[in-house]
Structure 1
Amino acid sequence: MSFRVSWHNLIERLDELPEGATLRTPLSHDRFRITDVQEHRVVIRFTHSGDSQPLQQDQFETLYRRITDSEAGFELDRLPPNADPYPAVWSLHPRFEIDEDASVIVEKDGPTTTQILDAGDETESEQKERTEPDLDVYADALLLVDVLERHEVTTLDEMDTDVLVNLYTLLSDVQRNGNDLRKDVSDVLLSRLHHDQPVSGPFGSVQRTTRRNRSLKPDEEVLETLEEAGIERERVLGVDRSKVDDAIEVTPLSDSDVYDIEESAYVRKAEVDEEHKETRLQGLKDQLAATEGNEAKELRGEIKELENRIAELTEFKSGSRFHTHTRGGP
């Protein structure tokens, strides 16, 4: 079957979609709806962000060629940035199906499944009440928001010392617990990212990178290898700091005898009053639960915004695209 025939079959399927039908991208699992179907493009709108994106016919053709040229299908990890919706739309065609376990989109002769979601599933997800996560970073972030709301932090020099102490303590706790959560998120993401291909979400994109760490082999092995290469031992032998510290302990020498010492002052968190934090936190939760109207909505919005900022892991980076005249496509 030619692309032109397949394209018109797809267009017919899109025209027959019920109003409000929601699809899901296979990689980032973003939900979107088709808002306009034209001869040479399909326009979609993401339900979470409200952003629109045109999907061009020539990009659909590129993906079609790559799918049909491979017996095993096209690997979704090879999609360019922002091209995640294309295979989701192609899955509406009766001969194309996404295998998420194998992370490919394939052409089949028999019945296929699509990325369209049941309306009931979407409604249940959208109407699900927001629950309080059992995370330290959430509790500390809530307390931090409270301090930021009650004090003018743009004029730190004018703030009382005890307020600055509270602010520093909470910032430190949020940073520490946020980093712990970021590490947990990173461990899970590593199992899902492949081939240095960026994967996008509503707030940014991430990609798998490799860091190269080096550690010297045993001293004698290194020295012998260098000597065989014509490097004398004396050129690489130096002072081992750990051995110097051990030597100082059994001699009358002081640190200043062998070290150039430069002192600098910094602030270090000494202790945290967990009981006071818990009391204040419970008060905020009670206040939030009892508050109604715009005030509650604004407070929840600010808390959500802070959570999102903590969860942001990377800066936005875009990769290459097949065509520069469109936002994205295979």
Structure 2
Amino acid sequence: MDPDNTWTTLRRQCEALEPGAELLTPVSERPFGIAQTADDRIVVRFGDSGERRPLWREQFVVFLERLAAGSVPTDDLPPGVEPYATVVTLTDEYAADDGEIRYDPDAATAGESPFLVSAAAARSTPERVHDDALLLAEQLERADADDPSALETEDATDLYVLASDVQRGANRVRRSVCDALLERLGPDQRLHGRYGTVRRTTRERRQPEDEETVFAALDDRGIPREWVTGIDRDKLDVVLAVTDLEEDEVYDVDEDVYVQKVGTDEDEKYSRLEGIADRIDELEGAEGEDLRAELDDIESRLEEALSAD
């Protein structure tokens, strides 16, 4: 191990990371990014707290000397050492698998690491909703969604997938915002925004007590038990599985045919987003300003439509 060469490699790999990519600490899985590199340190910034922390060159040398003496189990890493271990795996000399970090040039690949999260995967849920909404807006502008039967198959598929992704992501955001709003909403109170109004609503969900409690309550009042007993679907399915009873003998089966999304190419979506951003950046003058204003308007309309759900 040549400390100078390894340090140079560490700095180079950190500087070459894709903008927006994150690294994870091996044990606590705290996300962090590379904020700055210098001759004697690599400064990282933790995503969960915003804390900036220098990783010193001398400490890397100490850790590498420990690795030269043998592998290091990741579970034994102290919190302060975890970021050093993560960054070391970006080199072409140190690999991490099977719960340990070790010197293994044959298994290591420069710039890759099991603790590296791509920029596309590192986006938060609100960021994904924003990006998916932007892609959906572009797809709606490009394809004639008013006449789905006239769409090319690829366009129809992309439109369906993007609409599904926006709906799913928006629901996640809505649930998280709901918790925050409930802390601010009192009984019979309404909160108003630019796009609408919300109020606190209470909905009861009933779950029967255990069978013994229910039957005891019925017996106390002289209510026949058979009034509330019936077929248990779970038990019926077990009977179907272990006997020759046919499904159509005990079930009225209706077939519902629908389209199911089975996959999303996040890398392709992210690449498309980068292409849109690059084209906008290349535009100058009135044309660029008009396009930015148009995109802002599209995003606003999408936001309004989603909030109305």
Fold match by TM threshold 0.5: yes
Deviation, structure 1 residue 133: 9.1
1:253 to 245, 252, 258: 245
Residue-by-residue CA offset, 1:147-182 (whole Å, 9 max, x unaligned):
011112112111111111000000000000000000
Question: Is the alpha carbon distance of 1:238 and 1:226 closer, same or farther for their aligned partners in structure 2, counting shifts above 3 Å?
Answer: same
SS of the residue corresponding to residue 263 of structure 1 reads coil
Q: Of the two structures, which has the highest relative contact order with CA contacts closer than 8 Å and spacing of 6 or more?
A: 1
**Native 8 Å contact 1:139 1:281 kept in 2:** yes
**Native 8 Å contact 1:141 1:174 kept in 2:** yes
Deviation, structure 1 residue 290: 3.1
**Native 8 Å contact 1:199 1:205 kept in 2:** yes
1:296 to 292, 297, 303: 292
Query: Counterparts of 1:202 and 1:308 in 2: how far apart (Å)?
Result: 9
Matches within 5 A, 1:161-310: 161-291=153-283, 292-310=288-306
Query: Counterparts of 2:295 and 2:167 in 1: how far apart (Å)?
Result: 21
Question: Is the alpha carbon distance of 1:213 and 1:134 closer, same or farther for their aligned partners in structure 2, counting shifts above 3 Å?
Answer: closer
Query: Counterparts of 1:133 and 1:258 in 2: how far apart (Å)?
Result: 44
Code of the residue aligned with 1:306 in structure 2: it is L
Percent of residue pairs bearing the same amino acid type: 38
Code of the residue aligned with 2:209 in structure 1: it is K
Residue-by-residue CA offset, 1:257-285 (whole Å, 9 max, x unaligned):
21111112111101112221111111112
Query: Counterparts of 1:303 and 1:235 in 2: how far apart (Å)?
Result: 55
Query: Counterparts of 2:301 and 2:280 in 1: how far apart (Å)?
Result: 16
**Native 8 Å contact 1:138 1:307 kept in 2:** no
**Native 8 Å contact 2:136 2:162 kept in 1:** yes
Matches within 5 A, 1:111-150: 135-150=127-142
Query: Counterparts of 1:152 and 1:192 in 2: how far apart (Å)?
Result: 42
Query: Counterparts of 1:134 and 1:238 in 2: how far apart (Å)?
Result: 46
Residue-by-residue CA offset, 1:305-326 (whole Å, 9 max, x unaligned):
223332345xxxxxxxxxxxxx
**Native 8 Å contact 2:195 2:307 kept in 1:** no
Structure 2: segments with no counterpart, 5+ residues: 1-123
Structure 1: segments with no counterpart, 5+ residues: 1-131, 314-330
Query: Counterparts of 2:259 and 2:167 in 1: how far apart (Å)?
Result: 15
Query: Counterparts of 2:281 and 2:221 in 1: how far apart (Å)?
Result: 73
Query: Counterparts of 2:274 and 2:179 in 1: how far apart (Å)?
Result: 32
Deviation, structure 1 residue 228: 1.0
Query: Counterparts of 1:245 and 1:259 in 2: how far apart (Å)?
Result: 10
Query: Counterparts of 2:128 and 2:259 in 1: how far apart (Å)?
Result: 23
TM-score, normalising length: structure 1: 0.53
Query: Counterparts of 1:230 and 1:268 in 2: how far apart (Å)?
Result: 50
Query: Counterparts of 1:242 and 1:299 in 2: how far apart (Å)?
Result: 51
TM-score, normalising length: structure 2: 0.56
Query: Counterparts of 1:164 and 1:290 in 2: how far apart (Å)?
Result: 29
SS of the residue corresponding to residue 201 of structure 2 reads coil
SS of the residue corresponding to residue 304 of structure 2 reads helix
Query: Counterparts of 1:308 and 1:138 in 2: how far apart (Å)?
Result: 13
Query: Counterparts of 2:191 and 2:300 in 1: how far apart (Å)?
Result: 23
Q: In structure 2, what is the equivalent of residue 53 of structure 1?
A: none
Code of the residue aligned with 2:244 in structure 1: it is P
Deviation, structure 1 residue 232: 0.9
Query: Counterparts of 2:130 and 2:166 in 1: how far apart (Å)?
Result: 8
